[in-house]
Structure 1
C-alpha cells in the first residue's frame, strides 16, 4: 500500500472512531459538546461583541471534551480502553493519561452559568442586561445556548478623589493624574479594583507600610444621569491608625546564619557587628559585613518604599549563598515613626560536590553524552564569592551524516570565580534587583576526532555580568583569550586537505584575544502576553589594538605574531531575534531570524574557523545535514563514504517559523519552515559561488517538515522529519524542488528525508 493511501485510510479511521464516541454512552445520557453565547445589543461594535462572546464562553462550566478539527481523540482513547483490571499497564495508561472521560449534559448547571454570565456583564457596566439560557439536542449530543440582551452601557461621568488636608488623602490625591478611571470610559469593576491596587502601590513608595487596597472604597452613583455613573474614591472610616501614617527605616538587623529550628533573636547581642547602618549577628564571622551593605538598598532614616524592599530581598536571593531568605518589619521601640528591619538568612552548605550525566545534541547532528564532576565553594573569600572547579569528559557521534564514524572524544577542566560585585577601578553602584557579578574563568579542553586530528584549547576570560531588570541582561568580557593547538593529524585528514584546502583551517594554530559583549532582552516569562520576544545581540572583537600598534597587514605580507603565533584580527557581530505568538490554548507560532557578519582585517584575511558561521542541522535548517549548506551556491561533492567537511562562512542569514500545538498528554506537534545560508565576504577561487552578492536571496536554502515534541518533565525530546524544497547549489532557475516531492518514491525518501533527534526546542 502506498503511503498516501495509508494516510488517507488512517484519517478516515480517526474520523469514524471519533464520530462513534456516543455509542459508549448509557441510555438517556447526552454528550455535552459545548456552549454558545450570543450577545445582542446595538451599543457594541461587531468586534467588541465577538470579544464579549469569546470571554463569556470561557466562563461557562463545565468545558466540553477537547477536540481537534471537530474530532475528540482523547475521548476516543478513553472509550476504547474499556475498564482496566488494575491501576497500571497499557489500558490504564491509555484511559487515564491519553484519554479523558466524557463530559455529559447532565453535568451542566445552566442556572449557575446564567448567574455567572449576568454577574460578569453587569461588572462591565451593562446594569440593565438580561441573560437567558436554552439547550438543544441532536442524536446523543447536546449543546447549551446563552443569550445576553445588553441594553445601554453605563459611562463614567465624573471621578472624584478625596480632597482634604489629611496627609494620607493628600498623598492619594497626588496619584490622581495617573488614574485608570477616566471620564467617558465605560464602567468596569475590574478597572476599579486595579485602580485601588495602583493607589496602594504608590502609597507603598512613600512610606505607607501598613496600608492595603481594602482600605479604599469606590462609591458608585448610577443615578447621575442618562446611563452615567459618578465615582468617588475615599478612605474607609475603619482604616487603622497605623495604615494612615508613613514610616521611615530604623535599625536594620541581619542574621546571616539563621536556622528555622531555633530562635536566633535570643542570641547574645554582644556578639553583634555594627557596620554603617547595619547590625549583623554573625558569631562565627562567616561573612564580610560589606556583602549585606551592598545587597540591602535601605538606608537608616529613609522613607520606607516597596521597591527597595523587594529589590533587597531579590538581591539577597541572587547571591546564591542562602537557602532561605525572609524579612520582617516591626515598629521601632527606639525611634518614633520608624520600622526596624530584620533579615533572616539561612545559608546553603558552603561546599558541595556534584556529578552530572548529560545527554546532548547540537546543530551538527551529533548525539552524545557528557559526565561532569564539579566542586563548589559558595563563600570562598567570605564575600559570597562562588568558586567552581570542574572536570568533564564526553563522547559524541554523528548519526545521520557522511561524518558518521568520525566520532569525537573530549575531556577538560574549568575553574571559575564569581564575585557578587563589579571589580573596577571606579566605584560603580547598582540599584538593580539583581546583583552584578565579576567573573574570572580559566579552562582547558582536549578534543580528539577519531581518524582525523586532535585539538588542545586553552581559554581564559575576565568580565562582568549584570541585569537592568528581569528582561535585560548584559555580559561584557573585557578580556577573553583563546589559544588552540592541533596535533596527531592523520594522513587521512591530510589527504582530505589536498582535495579541499579549506579543511586545513580547522587545524591551524589559533590565538584569539579581545573583548566580547552580549546583550539579551526577553519577555517570554510573561505567559499572559499574546506576543513575546527574545533578542540577543553580540559583538566579538579580536586583536584590534595590537594589530593597530604593530601595523599588521596580512594582505601585504605583514602578518604579526604574539608568542610565536599569528593572532586573529576581526570584528564579528550577530543578532538573534525570536517572536512567539499565542494562537490559543496550547497553540503557538514561533519565528526566528538570525543575521551575522564577521569582518577580518589587518592581521587576518579570514575569520578563525571556530568563529565562523554554519547552517544546517537539528537547530538550524533541518532539511539539510549539519553544516552542509553553502557558502552561497557552492557545493562540495564527496563520495558516500568520504569525510564531509563543515562548510563555514563570514556572513549568515537564517529564518525559521514553526507552528506548535498540543496534541495529547505529553505530546506536542509541530509544522515548520526553515530558510537560510552563509556566504564568504571575499571571493575564493576554490569555492566558486561562495561570495556574497546582490543575488543572495536566490541562494537561500529552504526546507520544511513536521515534528513531535515529548515533554518528559526533566527534558523535552524532539523529533523532526524534514525535506528540502529549495536547494541553493542547484542551477539557477531550477533551485525550487517542491514539484519533485514524492513521498511514495523510496529513492526520493532516501535522498531527501532528513530525520533529526534533539533535546529541547530549536528556538
Structure 2
C-alpha cells in the first residue's frame, strides 16, 4: 500500500470506524426489543426450510428457493446494527405524534414480526399445495417446528417431497378439425419431453408457445383459454400421460384465420382533431392522413416501421414489432393502434394507427456538476465545477432524426493537502 493511501485511511476512515464501533457498543445493549413483548408473544428470530428424504433427481437448493416464496412471516431486519422493530417500538409510545417520530417509525422501523400461528399454518399449507399441485410431488408432506429461546422463536419447515412424478407421454388433440394438421406440426417443437418431471410452470410455457405459434399463423383471436391441459396416471407408477387439447371457438365453431385489411395512419393526431380538417393520400398501399400542410415525418420513414402488410396473413409478432418501431420515432409522444374486423369480410382485420407528435420539436437542457478527485500520485485533492448546455432537434430533416448540439465547460482547483501521518 502506498504512503498516500495509508495517509487517507488513517486520516479519514480510521476515526469514523472507531466512532461507529464505539457507538455500537454503547447502543446495542439498550436495543433489546423482547422487553416490549407481552407474556404470550414470541418474536420470530430465525426461519429455515429443510428438505428431507428427497429423491436423487430432485434439485434440493432450487426447490428450497421456490418454497421460500410462501413465507407469510419473516424475521425483522437491522439498520446500523439495530433491529428495526426497536425503532418501531421506541416511537410507538403514547404521545409520539411528532413528524420526526413518525418518520423514524415508518422509515427506520418495521412492525415487529411476532410469531402468529395462523400465518405459520398458511406457510406450511402453501408449500405443501405447491408441491402437490404444481411440481408433481403428489405425496409431499410439510411440517413446521417451533423452538423458543426465551422470547425469541426459531421456525423450521421440514419438507418431505417424496417422489416427483414424470411425463409418461404427451398428446396434442383438437376438436377443431381445421387445426389438426397445424397442431401436429406445432407439437414437433414441444418444450416437453417424455421423462421430464411434472412442472406446472413448464406446462404453462408450452401452452404459451402453442398460443404464440397459432397467433403467428393468422389465428388472431386464439388465446390460452382455448387450451385445456389434462393428465391421466391410470395403471402408471409415478408417471402421467399428458394431453393438450385445443378447444373450439365459441359455439363449437372453427377458429378463424385472419389477414391484414386496410391500414389508415394519422400522422399528426390530437384528441380535438376533426375529420373535415384532415386530408389524406394513398401511399405504400396505406392511407396517410395529415392536418398540417406537410407531413411532420415523411411517410416513407413511417412505412419502414410498419410490418402489417395489406392482405398478408396476420402475425402477432408483426403487430408487436410495429408498435415497438413506431414508438422508436422520437417525433411522436404517443402511438395508438385500433383494430377491428372489416365489415365486408369477417376474416380481414383493419388497422387505424394514431401518431401524436411531440409538443416541441426542440429540447433544451442545462446541467451543472460538482466533483471531488484525489490523485494519489501527486497527493493532491481537486475540487471541480462544470456547467453544460445542450440543444436537441427531434425531427431535423423530417425523418424523425435526432441531432444534438452541446457545450460544456468547467474549472478545477486544488483544495488542500490532507494531514500527513508518518508510519
Contiguous gaps of at least 5 residues in structure 1: 403-639, 641-744, 749-763
Q: Which residue of 2 aligns with 1:274?
A: 282
1:286 and 2:286 matched: no
Q: Which residue of 2 aligns with 1:299?
A: 309
CA shift, 1:399, in A, is 4.8
Q: Which residue of 1 aligns with 2:393?
A: 377
Quick one: structure 1 residues 167 and 370, their matched pair in 2 at CA, closer, same or farther if it must change by over 3 Å? farther
CA shift, 1:140, in A, is 0.9
Q: Which residue of 1 aligns with 2:131?
A: 121
Q: Which residue of 1 aligns with 2:4?
A: none
Q: Which residue of 2 aligns with 1:577?
A: none
Q: When the two structures are superposed, what TM-score results if normalisation uses the length of structure 2?
A: 0.82
CA shift, 1:132, in A, is 2.8
CA shift, 1:360, in A, is 5.0
- What whole-Å deviation, never above 9, does each CA across 1:9-41 have from its counterpart, x for those lacking one? 4454465355x1212323432212243333332
| Secondary structure class of the residue paired with 1:175 | helix
Q: Which residue of 2 aligns with 1:202?
A: 213
Q: Please tell me whether the aligned partners of residues 173 and 245 of structure 2 are also in contact (alpha carbons under 8 angstroms).
A: yes
- What whole-Å deviation, never above 9, does each CA across 1:182-231 have from its counterpart, x for those lacking one? 11011111111111111111222222211111210111112240111000
Higher relative contact order (CA 8 A, sep 6+): 2
Quick one: structure 1 residues 397 and 172, their matched pair in 2 at CA, closer, same or farther if it must change by over 3 Å? farther
| Secondary structure class of the residue paired with 1:333 | coil
CA shift, 1:163, in A, is 6.6
Match of 2:195 among 184, 190, 193: 184
Quick one: structure 1 residues 78 and 317, their matched pair in 2 at CA, closer, same or farther if it must change by over 3 Å? same
1:38 and 2:45 matched: no
Q: Please tell me whether the aligned partners of residues 166 and 240 of structure 2 are also in contact (alpha carbons under 8 angstroms).
A: yes
Distance 2:305 2:190 in 1: 34
Distance 2:394 2:289 in 1: 20
Q: Please tell me whether the aligned partners of residues 355 and 371 of structure 1 are also in contact (alpha carbons under 8 angstroms).
A: no
Distance 2:149 2:173 in 1: 59
Task: Please give the residue correspondences for 1:218-297 in structure 2 after superposition, counting only pairs within 5 Å.
Answer: 218-237=229-248, 239=250, 244-259=255-270, 261-262=271-272, 267-268=275-276, 271-284=279-292, 285-287=294-296, 288-297=298-307
Match of 1:340 among 321, 332, 350: 350
Q: Which residue of 1 aligns with 2:7?
A: none
Task: Please give the residue correspondences for 1:599-638 in structure 2 after superposition, counting only pairs within 5 Å.
Answer: none
Match of 1:216 among 212, 221, 227: 227
- What whole-Å deviation, never above 9, does each CA across 1:238-278 have from its counterpart, x for those lacking one? 5577882221211111112222x34x5x6149821110122
Q: Please tell me whether the aligned partners of residues 176 and 246 of structure 2 are also in contact (alpha carbons under 8 angstroms).
A: no
Q: Please tell me whether the aligned partners of residues 134 and 145 of structure 1 are also in contact (alpha carbons under 8 angstroms).
A: yes
Quick one: structure 1 residues 41 and 300, their matched pair in 2 at CA, closer, same or farther if it must change by over 3 Å? same
Distance 1:336 1:67 in 2: 63
Match of 1:358 among 355, 368, 373: 368
Q: Please tell me whether the aligned partners of residues 163 and 170 of structure 1 are also in contact (alpha carbons under 8 angstroms).
A: no
1:395 and 2:411 matched: yes
1:162 and 2:173 matched: yes
- What whole-Å deviation, never above 9, does each CA across 1:400-446 have from its counterpart, x for those lacking one? 779xxxxxxxxxxxxxxxxxxxxxxxxxxxxxxxxxxxxxxxxxxxx
- What whole-Å deviation, never above 9, does each CA across 1:429-483 have from its counterpart, x for those lacking one? xxxxxxxxxxxxxxxxxxxxxxxxxxxxxxxxxxxxxxxxxxxxxxxxxxxxxxx
Q: Please tell me whether the aligned partners of residues 264 and 351 of structure 2 are also in contact (alpha carbons under 8 angstroms).
A: yes
- What whole-Å deviation, never above 9, does each CA across 1:539-558 have from its counterpart, x for those lacking one? xxxxxxxxxxxxxxxxxxxx
Quick one: structure 1 residues 86 and 374, their matched pair in 2 at CA, closer, same or farther if it must change by over 3 Å? farther
RMSD, matched Cα: 3.3
Distance 2:400 2:176 in 1: 49
| Secondary structure class of the residue paired with 1:187 | coil
Q: Please tell me whether the aligned partners of residues 79 and 108 of structure 2 are also in contact (alpha carbons under 8 angstroms).
A: no
Quick one: structure 1 residues 5 and 299, their matched pair in 2 at CA, closer, same or farther if it must change by over 3 Å? closer
| Secondary structure class of the residue paired with 2:291 | coil
Quick one: structure 1 residues 387 and 229, their matched pair in 2 at CA, closer, same or farther if it must change by over 3 Å? same
1:28 and 2:44 matched: no
Quick one: structure 1 residues 276 and 241, their matched pair in 2 at CA, closer, same or farther if it must change by over 3 Å? farther
Distance 1:184 1:102 in 2: 47
Quick one: structure 1 residues 224 and 203, their matched pair in 2 at CA, closer, same or farther if it must change by over 3 Å? farther
1:747 and 2:412 matched: no
Distance 2:251 2:71 in 1: 40
Q: Which residue of 2 aligns with 1:93?
A: 103
Distance 2:46 2:72 in 1: 9
CA shift, 1:72, in A, is 5.3
Which one has the bigger strand percentage?
A: 1
Q: Please tell me whether the aligned partners of residues 154 and 227 of structure 1 are also in contact (alpha carbons under 8 angstroms).
A: yes
Distance 2:29 2:185 in 1: 66
Task: Please give the residue correspondences for 1:36-75 in structure 2 after superposition, counting only pairs within 5 Å.
Answer: 36-44=48-56, 48-67=59-78, 73-75=83-85
- What whole-Å deviation, never above 9, does each CA across 1:692-725 have from its counterpart, x for those lacking one? xxxxxxxxxxxxxxxxxxxxxxxxxxxxxxxxxx
CA shift, 1:57, in A, is 2.7
- What whole-Å deviation, never above 9, does each CA across 1:256-302 have from its counterpart, x for those lacking one? 2222x34x5x6149821110122111121333211211111222122
Q: Please tell me whether the aligned partners of residues 196 and 213 of structure 1 are also in contact (alpha carbons under 8 angstroms).
A: yes
1:131 and 2:131 matched: no
Distance 1:337 1:185 in 2: 39
Quick one: structure 1 residues 49 and 376, their matched pair in 2 at CA, closer, same or farther if it must change by over 3 Å? closer
Contiguous gaps of at least 5 residues in structure 2: 1-13, 376-381
| Secondary structure class of the residue paired with 1:312 | helix
Quick one: structure 1 residues 240 and 386, their matched pair in 2 at CA, closer, same or farther if it must change by over 3 Å? farther
Distance 1:336 1:92 in 2: 62
